[in-house]
Amino acid sequence: MKNFWDFCAPFYDLASKANGRAYGDMLRLVREIVPQGATVMDVAAGTGAVSLALAGQASRVLCTDTSENMLRIASRKVVRAGVQNVTIEKQDIFALSVPDHLFDVVIAGQILHLIDEPEKAAAELRRVAKSMVILPMSFTKNLRGIAKLRFDLYRIFGFAPKIELSADDYEAFLQSIGFADCAVIPIAGRLPMAVAVWHATPRFPSPLR
């Protein structure tokens, strides 16, 4: 999978823009969820679209990926945007090199269905999150028409999800890897999306007995 992401890095933003309205709605929704002044770690960030979208409201964003080609493009975008609070680092989702509960918000978009041992990666995301984990996702199961043709082409070049998800599958998948009680917000589009939000502590504590 790593070689695939290095290969497709120059085309990654074009693929995202192909689902333009839904992708834009996802970015706006994530901005609405992340508190002003929060510290953010963006894991498996690709070319940094989410990191840059949050630069104006976060106090600090750590943008990470395992693909050097993705991070090279993200770095160029950060320089062009002139932002000072986005840092680029190569990091492994299975072994994040940061202390426990360091970041207010941890984001991992469209990655957990692509990897072996998603529960191990999920545990790392929860470990480094102080307040919440945000999990945007695109759904590739049961696609039809142009969307299906596009993803069939991606598969020819090496795109190989470990599990295919539909919108109806997402909440159960999250629960199976340790993200119980997520709020899942659907996003309509040519390629359906959703944003799941997991809170590190219950928002409504049980009354004392």
pLDDT in tens, 145-173: 777 767 666 676 677 789 999 999 999 99
Residue 157 confidence (pLDDT): 65
* 172-182: pLDDT as tens digits: 999 999 999 89
Q: CA-to-CA distance for 84 and 173, rounded, in angstroms?
A: 36
* 1-36: pLDDT as tens digits: 557 888 888 888 877 777 778 999 999 999 999 999
Choice between 11 and 83, residue whose per-residue pLDDT is larger: 83
Residue 14 confidence (pLDDT): 74
Q: Where are the domains of the chain?
A: 2-199
Cβ(11)–Cβ(5) under 8 Å? no
104-to-15, 125, 185, 198 alpha-carbon distances in Å = 29, 11, 20, 12
110: pLDDT strictly greater than 50: yes
Per-residue burial over 148-176, b = 16 or more CB atoms within 10 Å of its CB, e = otherwise: eebbeebeeeebebeeebebebbbebbee
Instruction: Tell me the average pLDDT across 99-120.
Output: 97
State phi, psi for 92 to the nearest 5 degrees. Answer: -100, 125
Q: Among 72-86, 113-127, 145-159, 188-202, name the one with the lowest average pLDDT.
A: 145-159
57: pLDDT strictly greater than 90: yes
Q: What SS3 state is found at 149? A: helix
Q: How confident is the model at residue 209 (pLDDT cuts 50, 70, 90)?
A: very low
* 34-55: pLDDT as tens digits: 999 999 999 999 999 999 999 9
State phi, psi for 148 to the nearest 5 degrees. Answer: -65, -45
Alpha helix (H) residue ranges in the chain = 2-8, 12-17, 20-33, 49-54, 68-81, 118-128, 145-156, 167-176
- Close Cβ partners of 187 (under 8 Å, ≥ 6 residues apart): 22, 25, 26, 29, 193, 194, 195
Residue 202 confidence (pLDDT): 54
Domain 2-199 of CATH type 3.40.50.150: yes
* CA-closest candidate to residue 42, choices 93, 1, 112, 8: 93
Q: Among 91-95, 129-133, 140-144, name the one with the lowest average pLDDT.
A: 140-144
Radius of gyration of the chain from Cα atoms?
A: 16
